Structure 1
Amino acid sequence: MYAIVDIETTGGGGTARITEIAVFRHDGEQIVDVFHSLINPEIYIPPFITRLTGIDNAMVKDSPTFSEVQDHVRALTKDAWFVAHNAKFDYGFIKREFGALDEYFQRDLLCTVQLSRKIFPGLKSYSLGNLCQSLEIIIENRHRAHGDAEATVRLFEMLLRNDIQKLIPIDFYQ
C-alpha cells in the first residue's frame, strides 16, 4: 500500500502549520481510499501563502484542527509507504503535528522527486508543475492539497509503470 500525500502550509519555517491535507491510499494499481480537508492551523496565514494557495484565514476559521483529523491521517497512512513530491517536507510537517499531540509518527518514505530523477533522467526540472507538464499529466487546482496529491498519484502510477530498475518497493507490507 502507498499513501500519496500532499499538504499546504502557512509557510516553510519551524512555526508553520498545515492548512490543508489530502491523502490518497493506493494499492499499486488503483486508489482505494481518499481523505481531504482544510485544516485550521490555529495561526495566521500570511498574504503570500494566500496568493499562492488561495487559502485564507476566513476559509479555515471553521475547519477542523489537525487533532480533529489525525485519525483519518493515521488510518490512511498505516502500513503504507508515505509517498509525496518532496516527501521530507510533507512528512516533516505531519510528523511534527503528531508530535504536538504526544504521538510518535513514523512511516517509510518514497519521494517522487527522487524517483522521477532516476526513472525519467535528463528532464529540465523535477518540480511537480514542470514534471507534470513534461509527462503530460494534468494538474487541476495547482497549489491545493487535493489537486497536487491527485497529480502526484498520476505521476506515481507512471513511475510504477516505467520502473524497469525496480526502485519502487512493491511487497514491503504484504
Structure 2
Amino acid sequence: MYAIVDIETTGGGGAARITEIAVFRHDGVKIVDVFHSLVNPEIYIPPFITRLTGIDNAMVADSPTFYDVQDSVRALTKDAWFVAHNARFDYGFIKREFGALDEYFQRDLLCTVQLSRKIFPGLRSYSLGNLCESLEIGIEDRHRAHGDAKATVRLFEMLLLNDRQKHIPTDFYQ
C-alpha cells in the first residue's frame, strides 16, 4: 500500500502549520481510498501564501483543525509507504503535527522527486509542474493539496509502470 500525500501550509518555517491535506491510498494498481480537507492552522496565513494557494484565513476559519482530521490521516497512512513530491517536506509537517498531539508518527518514505530522477533521468526539471508537463500529466488546481496529490498519483503510477530497475518497493506491506 502507498499513501500519496500533499499538503499546503502557512509557509516553510518551523512555526508554519498545515492549511490543507489530501491523502490517496493506493494499492499499486488503483486508488482505494481518499481523504481531503482544508485545515484550520490556528495561526495567520500570510498574503503571499494566499496568492500562491488561494487559501485564505476566512476559508479555514470554520475548517477542522489537525486534531480533528488526525484519525483519517493516521488510518490512510497506516501500513503504507508515505509517498509525496519532496516527501520530507510533507512528512515533516505531518510528523510535527502528530508530535504536538504527543504522538510519535513514523512512516517509511518514498519521494517522487528522487524516484523520477532515477526512473526518468535527464529531464530539465523535477518540480511537480515541470515534471508533469514533461510527462503530459494534467494538473488541476495547482498548489492545492487535492489537485497536486492527484497529479502525484498519476506520476507515481507512471513511475511504477516504468520502474525497470525496481527502485519502488512493491511487497513491503503486502
Query: SS where residue 160 of structure 2 aligns?
Result: helix
Q: Distance in 1 between matches of 2:132 and 2:32?
A: 23
Trace 1:119-138 onto structure 2 (pairs within 5 A). Answer: 119-138=119-138
Residue matched to 1:109: 109
Map 1:2-151 → 2, pairs under 5 A: 2-151=2-151
Which runs of 5 or more structure 1 residues have no equivalent in the other structure?
none
Identity %: 90
Alignment of 1:161 with 2:161, yes or no, is yes
Deviations 1:79-118 (A, max 9, x none): 0000000000000000000000000000000000000000
Structure 2, unmatched stretches of 5+, are none
Q: Give the Cα–Cα distance (whole angstroms) in 2 for the partners of residues 17 and 166 of structure 1.
A: 35
- Structure 1 stretches of at least 4 aligned residues deviating more than 4 Å after TM superposition: none
Q: Distance in 1 between matches of 2:49 and 2:67?
A: 22
Distance between the aligned counterparts of 2:40 and 2:73, measured in 1? 15
Residue 126 (structure 1) shift: 0.1
Structure 1 residue 47: Cα displacement: 0.1
TM-score by structure 2 length?
A: 1.00
- TM-score normalised to structure 1 length: 1.00
Q: Could you tell me which residue of structure 2 aligns to residue 172 of structure 1?
A: 172
Which residue type is aligned with residue 76 of structure 1?
L
CA RMSD of aligned residues (A): 0.2
How many residue pairs align between the two structures? 174
Shift of 1:19: 0.1
